[in-house]
Amino acid sequence: MIIWKSPFTAAKVFRVSTESQGVVETVHVPVMPDEVVHWMTEHAPRVMVDGTYGGGGHSSLLIKKLPPGEGFMIGLDRDPAVSERVDTESHDPRLTVFLGSYERIPKALEALEIPKADAILLDVGLSSDQLADANRGFSFTVDGPLDLRFDPEFGDPASDWLAWKKEDEIANAIYQYGEERCSRRIAKEIVTRRRKENPVKTVNDLVEICRRCVPPSKNHNIHPATRTFQALRIVVNDELGIMERTLKAAPEWLAPAGRLVVISFHSLEDRIVKNAFRDDERWNILTKKPLRPTDDEVRMNPRSRSAKMRVAELA
């Protein structure tokens, strides 16, 4: 049986029970699967880490590349709902999944008494499973609570964050993390509703504000709420902070010639990865330009269209 272990507190142990609730099927399609397998396994690794386990799609492909009956596949994910999608009846004993951010990779390695990893994957996009959950607020096409947290047990939901932040703080966050030019207009509307004792609490509340404040795009078929939701998700989950800290520390977690593969989905993330690889002499960059999904993949999986993959090897 796969044991979900918290690498933070020894007392918090999760056992997935197929008897009590069954296995929830994932609807997420792993992005750039062939490229991930190639760059993660080209150097014959024995210890691989999937820092964003999600539906387990990438991990299920990678574990097949380990020597028969040998090696370790380690998964981490912040979302407790992932535990419902682990099939305990047919799992590979080489797989262990931890509940926690990929920032905690060294704690997971320590728990398994493994000194270093040979390859680490970070697919930092939002999964289709999270978008499909109306109670999380990730999809602006389905109404529900405006939460946006990866782990609902920690931190404040986006609705609470909007309820107490100043107007300029809201505007700056939407502009900085969403690159939304209408950020000040959106922030003003949010605060105006709050003052009228009708605060933004649901997905539809915020979507309607964005529809009023963001003019139709001339060059791109993009929903008016896209950038604002992205910004709030980044804020409540500290996504960029975790990514920056992880990229800085990752060389310490890898064995000699170990690899780090990162898939990002918007310019802020990709810029952080690019600069981290370029500015740290410990990295040997293997992809001079970001790899992109093929046209065939984009046709089959439209959500892959904005993916960018960068790969670096420990020098």
The annotated binding site for S-adenosyl-L-methionine is made up of 56-58, 77, 102, 123, 130
**Do 225 and 202 form a contact (C-beta atoms < 8 A)?**
no
d(CA 288, CA 55): 29
Query: What angle (nearest 5°) sits at the alpha carbon of residue 69, between those of residues 67 and 70?
Result: 55
d(CA 13, CA 163): 34
Dihedral of CA 308/221/213/189: which sign? negative
What is the three-class DSSP state of 73? Answer: strand
Residues making up the annotated binding site are: 56-58, 77, 102, 123, 130
Query: What angle (nearest 5°) sits at the alpha carbon of residue 259, between those of residues 314 and 257?
Result: 45
d(CA 227, CA 222): 9
Q: How far is CA 52 from the centre of its chain?
A: 6
Specify the DSSP element, H or E, that contains 134: none
